[in-house]
Amino acid sequence: MSLGARKLQTIRILHDLAAIVVCLIFLGPVLWAIYSAFRPSRDLFVFPPNISLTGFSLQNFRAVFASGDVTRYALNSLLVAATSSIITILASSMAGFALAKFKFPGRNLIFMTILATLLIPIQVLMVPVFLVLKTLGWVNQLIGIIVPPAATPTGTFMMRQFIRGIPDEMIEAARLDGASNWKIYRHIILPLCAPMSAALGIVTFTWRWNDYLWPLIVVNNQDKFTLQLALANLVGTNTVEWGTLLAYAILVLVPVLVAFLVFQRLFLKGQIGSAIKG
């Protein structure tokens, strides 16, 4: 190896090292919160931090589970995130199927209308949607959190693009065999959409799990709290038991963090994550 090449190599390694160090500093707030959640309360506000491999405790987590209905909130969050992701996948794939594989009057108009709803900012909808939910009797109901944001223009768009790639011959063959359109959707389109559905589902799930705005508007009955609402409520009122709060926050973020780290290519590749959010 020549001297120049070796110098270049050293610079690259230093650059790599710097990237990791800067990244860890950037993630300091999260790492520190995770570390502190497992420490006794007296360590929370010590600087320089009490870094030792001993003295870990689950005291904070015990306090979280002793403080109330965490399990119920977690089940509410799970129910909201899971059902609305399923609705999103089904509605988007159905609409995508129609828009990709049928020719019908008004198709472009319908497609453009669906996409145009992307432009309506959420703050304009906040108040009127609440009143719509009130009329439907969905205020303080989980269904009021689940349904309103379940149809996403981006989901529809992505499904349409994906279904366009499915060869027409497959659909025609099924039709010749006498399959109805619904059967074609169920037995051909939906299974073939599995990769797209998985991607859409994972991203929608994390978004709905993280959602704070809709639950905040729709629900004020503790029974119907999601984890985000419950934690937000604690952060607003309780500024003493930081150990418990941090442990709570860790419990809330773990599912999303795991999903992100496992499926990071999905999040980092396309702009799906952002697109769904919009």
Partner 1 sequence: MAPTSKSTNPLTPYLFVLPTLGLLATFSLFPLIYGLWMSLRDIDIVHGKNEFVGLQNYFGLFHDPKFGLSLLNTAGYTVTVVPSILVCSLALGVFLRRTTPARIFARVGFYIPFVLSPVVVATAWKWLLNEDLGVIDGFLKWAGVATVPWLTDDTAARISVVVTTVWNLAGFYMLMVLAGLTQINEELYDAARIAGANAWQRFWCITLPLLRPTLILIVVLATIHATQAFETILLLTDGGPANATRLVVQNMYDSAFVRLHPGYGAAQSILLLPLILFVAWLQMRLFKEENIL
Q: What is the number of H-type helices and E-type strands within the chain?
A: 17, 0
**Site residues for partner 1, window 173-232 (CB under 8 A)?**
175, 181, 185, 206, 209-213, 216-217, 228, 231-232
Radius of gyration, alpha carbons of the chain: 24
Q: Are 67 and 244 in contact (CB under 8 A)?
A: yes
Closest separation in Å from C-beta 240 to partner 1: 11
Taking alpha carbons only, the member of 10, 89, 45 closest to residue 245 is 45
Q: According to CB under 8 A, which one of 75, 122, 194, 198 is a site residue for partner 1? A: 122
**Site residues for partner 1, window 249-278 (CB under 8 A)?**
249, 252-253, 256-257, 260-261, 264, 267-268, 271, 273-274
Q: Are 218 and 145 in contact (CB under 8 A)?
A: yes
**Site residues for partner 1, window 13-52 (CB under 8 A)?**
15-17, 19-20, 22-24, 26-27, 29-30, 32-33, 44-49
Closer Cβ to partner 1, 47 or 52, answer by number? 47
Contacts 24+ apart (CB under 8 A), 261-266: 263/202, 266/199, 266/202, 266/203
Q: Decide: helix, strand or coil at residue 111.
A: helix
Is 12 one of the binding residues for partner 1 (CB under 8 A)? yes
Mark the segment that binds partner 1 (CB under 8 A) among 58-66, 67-75, 144-152, 194-202: 144-152
Is 101 one of the binding residues for partner 1 (CB under 8 A)? yes
Contacts 24+ apart (CB under 8 A), 110-113: 111/160
**Site residues for partner 1, window 52-81 (CB under 8 A)?**
none
Q: According to CB under 8 A, which one of 80, 225, 248, 272 is a site residue for partner 1? A: 248
Closest separation in Å from C-beta 263 to partner 1: 10
Tell me, what amino acid is at 19? A
